[in-house]
Amino acid sequence: MNNTLRPRIKAPILLNSAEAEIIRALRRQGCVTSTDITRMTGWSKAKTAQDIRDLVEKGFLMEAGEGVSQGGRKPRLLCINRNLGFVVGVDIGATSVDVALADISGSILQRYSEAADVRQRPEPFLRRC
């Protein structure tokens, strides 16, 4: 069998609890420095630095420029990599079906709404889509 035509599927990338906590903090705060992450989590600088390195290597975080210096060199800002993937949300309501496409950080990229009546059968609605 010729395997050259088969797409390669990457194994899912799992986050440990510390990495997930960093991602949650960045979703709440936006771009921050490693010092900010250390302060938010209460972890040591070494642990924070290792977790940040792991998240950058996995593609979850990216550098986004420099922050304001408090003396010394300017800190690097870390953000969630918005190009990592997308999320689709669907709300099937009584009067409409609403769909939203967001990047992985939760920023809505596109919205779509279509009128629908739940009292009708689904076929008329599906034909319009």
Q: What is the pTM of this model?
A: 0.64
What is the residue type of 5?
Answer: L
> Among 7-11, 33-37, 61-65, 80-84, whose mean pLDDT is lowest?
7-11
Mean pLDDT of the chain: 84
* pLDDT for the residue 21: 93
Delimit the domains of the chain by residue range. Answer: 15-82, 86-128
Closest CA to 125 of 102, 100, 94: 94
Match domain 15-82 to its CATH number in 1.20.120.530, 3.10.290.10, 1.20.1270.360, 1.10.10.10.
1.10.10.10
Q: How large is the average pLDDT for residues 50-57?
A: 94
Task: Decide the pairing of beta strands 86-92 and 76-80.
Answer: unpaired
Tokens 């938010």 -> residue: 40
> DSSP class of residue 104?
T
